[in-house]
Structure 1
Amino acid sequence: MTTATTISPQGATGERSAVAARGRQIVKAYGSGETRVIALDQVDVDIARGQFTAIMGPSGSGKSTLMHCLAGLDTVTSGQIYLDDTEITGLKDRKLTQLRRDRIGFIFQAFNLLPTLNALENITLPMDIAGRKPDGAWLNRVVETVGLAGRLKHRPTQLSGGQQQRVAVARALAARPDIIFGDEPTGNLDSRAGAEVLSFLRRSVDELGQTIVIVTHDPVAASYSDRVLYLADGRIVDQMFRPTAEAVLDRMKDFDARGRTS
């Protein structure tokens, strides 16, 4: 079941939910004059804390651009983006780099593991670079949650694709970031390995209180989320709570049909 297109931090009961990240009137444009392309068109969005959000939409809808802007990986043309109460738009490069390192986790299609390091060393690498000592109890809990306890001494070449992505998930979780962003995090995995990784992401929300946002084209991946945001032509046009794969697929078919008739 879909809801109205107004994206608000107010829940059905009117109680205000905690917001991990938010964007206000986000515009992202490329080029100028006749070649100007608007990737995001005055987007307002709130990402609820402690929830799993999926962003979907047709190719070119702006979904990856929105995630990259929310994560501080790309700049906006206009508008404001906040991580908790910190406005990240306008931050100097050094401050933005520090914020991404300390408060944001990333999981991407490419696992981005260093082949010369074992699983544990890959997991703790960002904290090692930052000169921070891992919280041992939390690290153990993360490792148990993603099912890597018996694989920590293995190098990436000794791990399956699903196991490598689990290492990437654990690396994102280990630093206890405010929010984790994933760009098609199961895109390079077969269905079984993808389901395993999505289950771990779901557990990290339910058991560890993590906030996760993923961009995906896969209705099955979206069905693990608490809420799906739908983008079209650079705008959020719909949302769905407690999605099922079937409901998400039906909604995407509506987009496809609309695109063919427009």
Structure 2
Amino acid sequence: MTVLDPPTTIPAIAARAAGLTKTYGSGEAQVHALAGVDLTIETARFTAIMGPSGSGKSTLMHCLAGLDQATSGEVQVGNLTLSSLSDNELTRFRRRHVGFVFQAFNLLPMLTAKQNILLPLDLAGLDPDWTWFDELIEVLGLGERLGHRPSQLSGGQQQRVAIARALMSRPTIVFADEPTGNLDSRSSAEVLGFLRRSVRELGQTTVMVTHEPSAAAYADRVVLIADGRVATQIDNPTQDSILDALRRIGG
């Protein structure tokens, strides 16, 4: 199997970190961003990663997504061990197996919503699955916005376009980095609802990094990171249970 091929069967575990460490600098300036993380991300579940500033949550996401290389330990996504891949293979891995949703949307201003959604497939030289495209557009409510450029869309609509772009290639896993950070409360709730629907109705595995307990409460599970380690995990979280756990770890 190559990194461009989808797995022949969907694993129960979409991603796994084992003994993950990440160290920056050396000597007295050395910083241990990750200090031995063991974590599994289940297929077709919505996982939120939270923690105090500097806890290592963003570093963990970058290592799981193949954007950063761990100092030690292993990351497995689907059937692939990332440390075994060359730089070119990592690029192909991310293009085929990983979707990204960013706080700043990262849409190209000169392209329409439809063109932005299809851009990763165009870059990869892959033909769109138009049935899947139509399903995404219906779920995300973008049917009347496909011909609009980003400047003609609200923040919530732009983020929905970004979600459709992330889902279009049917990735093994989608990583959302503070996806509601630039949105008002109404648009935030809308976008989080769509992310949750993508998990429950479309079977998409999603990992979201957030500092907002109200956002994390949309997830199936919350993983709290402190001092570069997994401090605790909360299944079926509520905003109150998240706040209680954050207080216990000093978040």
Into which bin does the TM-score normalised by the smaller protein fall? over 0.9
Identity %: 59
- Secondary structure at 1:210 match in 2: coil
> How far did residue 255 of structure 1 move?
2.6
Partner residue in 2 for 1:103:
97
- Which stretches in structure 1 are left out of the alignment for 5+ residues? 1-16
For 2:89 and 2:30, the matched residues in 1 are separated by 30
- When normalised by structure 1's length, the TM-score is 0.90
1:42-81 aligned at under 5 Å gives the runs 42-81=36-75
1:172-251 equivalences in 2 (<5 Å): 172-251=166-245
Letter in 2 for 1:237: A
Counterpart residue number, 1:3? none
TM-score, scaled relative to structure 2: 0.94
Residue in structure 2 matching 1:162, options 156, 161, 168: 156
Unaligned runs of 5+ in 2: 1-10
Q: Cα offset for 1:90?
A: 3.7
**Two-structure CA RMSD over aligned residues (Å):** 1.0
Alpha-carbon distance between aligned partners in 1 of 2:85 and 2:213, rounded to the nearest angstrom? 35
| Residues in 1 aligned to 2:35 and 2:122: alpha-carbon distance in whole angstroms | 39
Structure 2 residue matching 1:129: 3-state secondary structure: helix
Question: Tell me, what secondary structure is at the counterpart of 1:208?
Answer: coil
The CA deviation at 1:112 is 0.4
Distance 1:124 1:244 in 2: 35
Equivalent residue of 1:89, what SS? Answer: helix
Letter in 2 for 1:69: C
Superposed structure 1 runs of 4+ greater than 3 Å apart = none
Q: For the Cα contact (< 8 Å) 2:231–2:249, is it kept in 1?
A: no
Amino acid at match of 1:56: M
For residues 212 and 48 of structure 1, what CA distance do their matches in structure 2 show?
9
Tell me the SS of whatever aligns to 2:83.
coil
Q: Letter of the 1:135 partner, please give it.
A: D
The whole-number CA distance in structure 2 between the counterparts of 1:86 and 1:252 is 33
Q: Is the 8 A contact 2:159 2:191 kept in 1?
A: yes
Q: 1:187: Cα distance to partner?
A: 0.6
Q: How many residues align?
A: 241
Cα deviation, residue 126, structure 1 = 0.3
Structure-1 residue corresponding to 2:133: 139
SS in 1 for 2:189: helix
